[in-house]
Amino acid sequence: ALQDEGADTVEANEALGFAIDARNYQQCAEILFDLGLCHVRVISNNPDKLKALEEAGLQVVERVPIEVEAEAAAAHYLRIKKEKLGHFLG
């Protein structure tokens, strides 16, 4: 696998011709609208997730950060998320 050869998640997805993050939040927004919600607090460090929910018509009134102590095995993965994907990480 590309990651076994040293590629990070972003590099591996790009090399395979995949979107960096192929998730779609439209259905999430539709479910929230069906429940009568249009203003949400989002627990996430992912700016693209916030943007997608706002583009779907939800009003994000607050972002609640996820604060974790990274173990050595996850530190590289989280650094890539911060540096290449703009995640809000300390």
List, for residues 20-69, the tens digit of each pLDDT value. 888 999 999 999 999 999 999 999 999 999 999 999 999 999 999 999 88
Confidence label for 6 from pLDDT (cuts 50, 70 and 90): confident
| Contact of 78 with 70, CB cutoff 8 Å | yes
State yes or no: is 23 an active-site residue.
yes
Q: Which of 4, 8, 23, 34 is catalytic?
A: 23
Question: Looking at 4, 8, 21, 63, which residue is catalytic?
Answer: 21
Joined together, the tokens standing for residue 15 give 């090399």
pTM exceeds cut of 0.75:
yes
**How far apart are alpha carbons 90 and 84 in whole angstroms?**
14
Give the number of other CB atoms < 10 A from CB of residue 81. Answer: 19
